[in-house]
Amino acid sequence: MSAKIISGTEIAKQIREELKAEVAEIKEKHGVVPGLVTILVGENPASISYVTAKQRTAHDLGFHSIQDNQPDDIKEDELLSLIEKYNNDDSIHGILVQLPLPKHIDESKVLYAISPDKDVDGFHPVNVGKMVIGEKCFLPCTPHGILEMLVRSGVETSGAEVVVVGRSNIVGKPIANLMLQKREGGNATVTVCHTRTRDTAFHTRRADILIVAAGRPKVITADMVKEGVVVIDVGVNRIGKTPEGKAILCGDVDFEAIKEKAAAITPVPGGVGPMTITMLMKNTVQAAKQFAGIE
Ligand SMILES: NC(=O)c1ccc[n+]([C@@H]2O[C@H](COP(=O)([O-])OP(=O)(O)OC[C@H]3O[C@@H](n4cnc5c(N)ncnc54)[C@H](OP(=O)(O)O)[C@@H]3O)[C@@H](O)[C@H]2O)c1
């Protein structure tokens, strides 16, 4: 059996079409254009490519979008003042600070300075708390994208054994939390593995749905999964460069071997990545609508 490939690229395209129509409608009916600022500190090549992709998508969707580049040696209080400026700017509905930040800047302080109403990354503790309780909020983009992929691919999550490998604040913990909630794409029985888990393979072999966000190339091998599993591979590992200098990417699972056992699997690239960016856009549209009092 060869797995169905869950294409994040295709699902993201579908959601972007829906968003484009929504952007046109709120512009026409309410005179509001969703505004997104992405703040980049320094010149980390991976961060530059993420921010460029976010800006390109925002532009394609008809957003008012600003790319704000700041030098590596910007002082923490200067960055906080910049965020305050955008918090008070009515043409901006979403603020994204690209992580990681240089070591001399306290990341939490910066993320907490973003108004929860403009926190389209969903990292502010107000939004994290609301998410855990199950209240309406900005969901973090990667876990939100994973949920959308599962729902739109018709994967049954209710009653499923879900195993998450990784417990980071941006992927592992929130996706585990969302999948156990009483809602569409939830109602699962969730296990979370990390580096102190005694026998990760014991858990991954039980999974009906396996979500891997370990940041280790091909750490999940075919002997660690059961026949018919649905695999969501969040990992993005740069394992080399093409002769043209383009990064060669691979996920956290051994895609070629596991696709022969799985019912469905996401590729890397073209899986979770495009969904993450798209959910950022969805959150920005939501922020603009809330600003305009539409919902
Ligand atoms: N496609 C996207 O849009 C997107 C978005 C975000 C992240 N990512 C990618 O997803 C990956 C994970 O990102 P992250 O930010 O969540 O990473 P992270 O903060 O480094 O967390 C990795 C987690 O995996 C656990 N882990 C590592 N090796 C393990 C192993 N062998 N067995 C079990 N658990 C293991 C770690 O456990 P401990 O807590 O015990 O250390 C940690 O909880 C990275 O490759 C990242 O680039 C992709």
Confidence tier at 1 by pLDDT (50, 70, 90): low
Whether 155 and 109 map to the same domain: the answer is no
Which residues in 169-201 are b (16+ Cβ under 10 Å) and which e? ebbbbbbbbbbebeeebbbbebbbbeeeeeebe
State yes or no: pLDDT of 295 exceeds 80: no
- Taking the CA of residue 166 as centre, how many other CA atoms within 13 Å lie in the half-sphere pointing to its CB? 23
State yes or no: pLDDT of 46 exceeds 90: no
Q: How far is the CA of 241 from the centre of ligand 1 (A)?
A: 22
For the stretch 136-167, pLDDT in tens is: 999 999 999 999 999 999 999 999 999 999 99
Whether 103 and 165 map to the same domain: the answer is no
Whether 89 and 205 map to the same domain: the answer is no
**Residue range 176-188: mean pLDDT, rounded:** 96
d(CA 295, CA 288): 10
Q: How far is the CA of 37 from the centre of ligand 1 (A)?
A: 26
16 is written with which tokens?
């972007």
| 121 a catalytic residue | yes
Give how far Cα 134 sits from Cα of 119, 139, 172, 267, 269, Å.
17, 10, 17, 30, 31
Find out whether the beta carbon of 163 lies less than 6 Å from any atom of ligand 1.
no
Whether 109 and 162 map to the same domain: the answer is no
Q: How far is the CA of 166 from the centre of ligand 1 (A)?
A: 5
User: Is 90 part of a structural domain of the chain?
Assistant: yes
Find out whether the beta carbon of 193 lies less than 6 Å from any atom of ligand 1.
yes
For the stretch 224-261, pLDDT in tens is: 999 999 999 999 999 999 999 888 999 999 999 999 99
The model's pTM: 0.96
The CATH number assigned to the domain holding 57 equals 3.40.50.10860
User: Is 97 part of a structural domain of the chain?
Assistant: yes
State yes or no: pLDDT of 101 exceeds 70: yes
Give the residue numbers spanning the domain of 258: 141-272
Give, for ligand 1, the residue of 98, 165, 171 to mutate: max count of ligand atoms closer than 8 Å to Cβ.
171
Q: Which amino acid is at 130?
A: K
| Residue of 119, 121, 208, 254 with catalytic role | 121
User: Is 70 part of a structural domain of the chain?
Assistant: yes
How does the average pLDDT of the chain come out, rounded?
97
State yes or no: pLDDT of 63 exceeds 80: yes
User: Is 49 part of a structural domain of the chain?
Assistant: yes
State yes or no: pLDDT of 60 exceeds 90: yes
For the stretch 192-205, pLDDT in tens is: 999 999 999 999 99
CB atoms within 10 A of CB 276: 26
User: Is 283 part of a structural domain of the chain?
Assistant: no
In which region does residue 114 sit, left (phi positive, over 0), alpha (psi from -120 to 50) or beta (all else)? beta
